[in-house]
Amino acid sequence: MISSRADTESDGSPAPRPAEEPSAGPGADGGRYLVTADRVWDGVSPEPVGDGFVLVEGERIGAVGRRADLGELADLPRVELPGATVLPGLIDSHVHLTLSGSATPIRDFKKDARAGSAALAVRGVRNLRRAALAGVTTVRDLGTPNDVAFALRSAVAEGQLLGPRVLTSGRPITVTGGHCHWFSHECDSPTEIRVAVRRQARDGADWIKLMLSGGNLTPRTNPGRPQFSAEEVRACVEEADRLGLPVAVHAYDPHSIRRAADTGVRTVEHCLFETADGIAFDPATADLMAARGIAFVPTISGAYQRMRSAGPGAPDLIAPRFRARQDLIREVFRRMIAAGVPMVAGSDAGVPQRAFDGLPADLGALVGADGMGLGCREALRSATSVAAAQLGLADAGVLAPGRRADLLAVDGDPLRDIGALVRPRLVLAAGRVALGPGGSGPGATW
């Protein structure tokens, strides 16, 4: 059965030529077209549709169904992807657009910042390009200077830059000398926090980011203790709520996580329950988060699995403290999921050893006994339909009529083998081709 919507005029967005003209590829003639594959998974259903199709109409999806039910649509141009699975484009719910992902991202950031906003923007463009080529079609940026973050968001939205849609907090809120103070509002009272929230709302932020605990990237801060009082956190959430903005908090330690849950933030980033002595999971906090629908974003990395698979002599990509606590941290996340706390995937791209094309591999770290114990479908939903719901994106994360044409096609079946995600064959971001059929590059599109 075909799921479709009424035909609408094309908005002129690029669309592909028929599959028999691979030299032209998608994006050449501006009409309606089909993407067909062995499997089409909508981001929600238990199983994909076999031998399925997606009808792309400019920026939107026109229909999804089985190829056998195409009917009058059968004569449309098509991109055929035998052996592939088509699924929603991935949503990376935690990135930092102007960080390099090298071993020294803060040094790199400060060097770029001294050169000016243009240098930071160039890095952001490169990062967005890398994410798009890996199948990421939406990013939520949680810490970037306003002038760069909002300019990149606009460039993508207006079609000047081909890349993932950008949601951004712009400048975070921290204490004087606090975590990521070099690109944050430094606030030391409830009043100063309210002013910072108002400034971010005035300048166009989609989210408010609060650095509730210290962080590992910032010397002389304490990741194991809150930076803000309960009164200060309430001031942030109350002011953001008054202005219609959701709040994401950076929180490592049990006290910070509980403080966030008590005040009703939207998402808790990292959420390790880490103390100076180890890990101290609090079931009552998890229950409160579940009851309030507060999601956690574990920013778990696939680096540990990559190191193990590479064998002896592979470069060590994990900080010693996290390496020693890997099993405890994963058990915390398993217990959070078991308690019913929503989980949203995010890579923390830009921090040390976290590249912008890393989300597909990071999702592998959520699966199976060596990861967080999730099945492939649950891991995929954390970066598609569940992520969209938690981030308030009614038009993304699901392949359905009227939704954005954010599509990822990969070689194989990621619902059976999550590793298929690292073999992209086609990426569409709002109908625009970021990666062409067969994994070909975008060429002059960039």
Q: What is the pLDDT of residues 152-197, one digit of tens each?
A: 999 999 999 999 999 999 999 999 999 999 999 999 999 999 999 9
The CATH architecture that domain 90-391 belongs to is Alpha-Beta Barrel (3.20)
Q: What is the pLDDT of residues 318-375, one digit of tens each?
A: 556 666 678 899 999 999 999 999 999 999 999 998 999 999 999 999 999 888 899 9
Q: What is the pLDDT of residues 388-420, one digit of tens each?
A: 999 999 999 999 999 999 999 999 999 999 999
DSSP label of 419 = G
98-137 burial by CB neighbour count: b if 16+ within 10 A, else e?
bbbbeeebbebbeebbeeebebbbebbbebbbbbbbbbbb
**Cα angle 349, 132, 416; round to 5:** 85
Q: Are 379 and 366 in contact, with CB atoms under 8 Å apart? A: yes
Q: Which of 59, 139, 55, 135 is nearest to 393 (CA)?
A: 139
**Chain-wide mean pLDDT for the chain?**
90
Least confident range from 25-29, 50-54, 228-232, 392-396: namely 25-29
The amino acid that residue 23 corresponds to is: S
pTM for the structure as a whole? 0.91
3-88+398-445 and 90-391 share one CATH topology? no
Residue 14: Cβ within 10 Å count:
18
Per-residue CA distances from 11 to 5, 58, 60, 318, 337 (Å): 16, 6, 10, 46, 42
The CATH architecture that domain 3-88+398-445 belongs to is Roll (2.30)
Q: What is the pLDDT of residues 258-312, one digit of tens each?
A: 999 999 999 999 999 999 889 999 999 999 999 999 999 999 887 555 545 545 5
**What residue segments make up the domains of the chain, in order of their start?**
3-88+398-445, 90-391
To 10 degrees, what angle do helices 117-133 and 105-115 make?
130
Query: For residue 366, is it left (φ>0), alpha (ψ between -120 and 50) or beta?
Result: alpha
